[in-house]
Amino acid sequence: MADTDRPVPRGRMRRTMPVAGFTARAAGGRMVAALRERAGDANAVERFHERTAERYADLLGHSKGVLMKAGQLMSMVDAQAVGGGELSPYQRALTRLQADAPPMDPALARSVLEADLGRTVEEVFAEFSPDPMAAASIGQVHRAVLPDGRSVAVKIQYPGVAQAIRDDLSNTELLSTVFRFAAGAAGAMGTAMPDIESAADEIAARIGEEVDYRREAANIAAFGDLYRGHPFIRIPEVVPSASGDRVLTMTYMDGMDWAAAQQADQELKNCWAEVIARFATGSYRHSNLFHADPHPGNYRFNADGTVGFVDFGCVKVLTERQRRLIVGVVRATIDGRRDDLRGLMVESGFFTAESTLSADDAYGWFAEILYELLADQPVMYTEQASARAVNSMIDVRAADHPMRRMSVPPDFVFFSRLNLSMNAIFTALRASFHARAQLDDQDGVAPPVSELGCRHDAWVRDRGLPYGTDDHDHH
C-alpha cells in the first residue's frame, strides 16, 4: 500500500501498541548502543539516535491526529539546549512534521471534499489544485480559485482522523508515553519531569478542538474581528459557501514561507519578529483569545513587514481570571515584584501558600523563563539566551530545580509552549527588537518606543480596545 493511501490507524489498541512497542525497543536499543560505544564502537550512541529519530518521526507522521500533533509540538523545543544536546536528531527529524506530513491521494481528497460539500469540485471552484501545498496533522491544504476570482486555501480533513483523535483522547496515557519517550531519549528528563499527565490533558483538550473545522471557522472570524484594520497583522476570511464539517475554505494569504523568511534581510526579520510577538501576546491583552499553536509554518511573511496568520484550529478562549493571572505573572516578573509574583503563582495553582518555595525562588525561576524581557533592550535572541528558558522549563535533573516542588497549572501549559516557541522562532530569525517595550505598551503601562509600537497603539486607541492590565469585564 502506498504511503498516500495508508489509512489513519483507528482503535485504542491499534493506536497505542505501535508507540508503546517502539518506545520499549528504543529503550533497549539505547542501552545496547551505549555498551557498544564503551567497547570501542565510536559514535554508536549518536548513530542510534539518528536512526531512532527518523523512525519515530515516520511513526508519528503516519499516525496523524493526536500523535502527529504531539510530534509537531515537541519539534518546536530547542533540543540543543536540553541536557547534552542528544535530542538534536529528534528535533531535526520531528521538524519534518511541521511542513512535510504524508499527504492523501488526490482522488481521496476530492471524494472527501465532494461528500462534505455535496457538490463536485468543479461546481465549487473555478480552479482547484489536486496536489496539496501543505499536509499537516489533521488535514492538508490545497490552492483553489472561487468563481468570483478570489484565491483561496482549502483545508481537507483526513478521513478517519476524527475517530482516531477520539480514540487518542480517551487514552491520555498514549500522549504521556509520547512525551516520556522524547524526554527519556536523551536521558534529560525521564521520570523527573513533573505532571506530564496534566500537560497531556491540556494539550489533548486543544488538539481535540482542532478536528472541528466549524469551530476553527468561528475562531478565524473572532481573530478577524479583533484585528480588523490592523496596520501589520493579517487574518484570512472564511468562505462559508465552500466550508463544512471536514472542509474549510479561507482567502489565500500571500507571502514567503518560513524557509524563505529566514534568508531575508535582518531589518525585515526584526520587524517580523515584533509583529509575531504582538500577535501572540496582544490577542489576550486586547481580547481574551489565546493562539496556542505558534509554529512558523502557520505564518506568511511579506516584504512590507506584514505577517499573515493562517491556522486557527488550536485556540484557547480565556476567562477574565485566566487572562488576568497570565498577564499578572508576567508583569510582576518584569517589575520585580517578588512577593506579588509568588502570590499570583499560588493563586494560579503552581504551588500552595505553604510551599517551601520562596518569593526569591519564584522570581528566579520566572526570570530565567522570561530572560529576554529582563535583559538590556533591544534584546537579541541567541541560542545561548534561549537555552535559559528551555532549561528552566524542561531540564529538571538538578535536585534543587524549582519544578520539582511545583506543578505547571493547565492554564499555563500552552503559555509555556508559547514562550518556548517564540524564543525558538526569534532565535532562528536572529531577531533583535524591544521585547519588553512591546508588552509594556500593550499592557498600557508605558508609551510605545518602536515605530511598529506607535502604529499598533494608534490602532488600539482608534478601536477603543482594552489594554492588558485593564479589567476586560468592565471595559
Q: Which residues are catalytic?
A: 293
Cα dihedral 238→65→95→390 (10° resolution): 100
Decide the pairing of beta strands 299-301 and 307-309.
antiparallel
Longest dimension (CA), the chain: 70
Residue whose grid cell is 489513519: 8
* Alpha-carbon span 349 to 408, nearest angstrom: 8
What residue has cell string 522570561? Answer: 370
Q: Which residues have C-beta within 8 Å of that of residue 24, sequence separation ≥ 6?
A: none
The three three-digit cell numbers of residue 402, written as one number: 524549582
Which secondary-structure segment (H or E) carries 418? helix 410-428
Cα→Cα distances 123→3, 133, 247, 339, Å: 29, 21, 15, 63
Helices 435-443 and 266-282, packing angle to 10 deg = 30
Cell of 368: 530565567
Closest CA relative to residue 81, chosen from 367, 298, 369: 369
Listed residue (22, 97, 40, 109) closest to 293, CA to CA = 97
Separation between Cα atoms, residue 162 and residue 252, nearest integer Å: 25
CB 87 within 8 A of CB 391: no
The alpha carbon of 18 is separated from its chain's Cα centroid by a whole number of angstroms, namely 25
Do the beta carbons of residue 220 and residue 238 sit within 8 Å?
yes
DSSP state of 65: H
The answer for residues whose C-beta is within 8 angstroms of residue 158's C-beta and 6 or more apart is: 8, 64, 104, 112, 138, 139, 140
| Strand-pair category, 247-251 with 289-291 | unpaired
| Angular region, 352: left φ>0, alpha ψ -120 to 50, beta rest | beta
Angle at 101 between CA 99 and CA 107, to 5 degrees: 120
Angle formed at CA 15 by CA 12 and CA 20, multiple of 5 degrees:
110
Nearest residue to 370 (alpha-carbon basis) of 318, 422, 441: 422
